[in-house]
A = this chain, B = another copy of it.
Amino acid sequence: MLADDHLGRARERLEQPLPDCYFAAFDKVERDGNLTLVVAEDKAGRVVGCLQLCILPGLSSQGASRGLIEDVRVASNRRSRGIGEQLVQWAVGEARARDCKLVELLTHHTRVDAQRFYERLGFAKSHVGMTIRF
């Protein structure tokens, strides 16, 4: 799903067997108690969506943690059925349950549909997301 996307296509290596770099990254995510990789499965157990939630302690806002949602993806043949909504709502609820006062995410400026989707779920376009890619 990460590769099945107009931005991801050029960035991922979808090969069999999957390159070791993905397994190494999975181990790092799994070892970190502040990182949660969540998948949505259909009734047959096929993964149809995913996201990563990061819980980030910090000093600002009276020492509140914040939640960061990254890498939200839904299988291209399963979109517009509420899967992304369920995943994001879960992440927002989990962040809240873990005492975050803020949940944030960056979405590429070309993903206009995604921005509308997040606004529908209560997010505001309050910030500019800035990046350097090496």
**Could you list which residues of chain A lie within 8 angstroms of chain B, going by C-beta atoms?**
2, 8, 11-13, 19, 21-26, 28-29, 32, 34-35, 37, 52, 54, 56-66, 68, 70-71, 92, 96, 100-109, 115, 118-119, 121-134
Query: A22-B62, A25-B63, A26-B59 given as contacts; is B131 within 8 A of A123 (CB)?
Result: yes
Taking the full assembly, how many copies of this chain does it contain?
Answer: 2
- A107 and B70 CA atoms in complex are apart in Å by 17
Closest to A129 in B: B127
Give, as a whole number of angstroms, the nearest-CB distance from A26 to chain B. 6
> How far is the CB of A1 from the nearest CB of chain B, in Å?
10
Judge whether B102 and A58 touch: CB under 8 Å: no
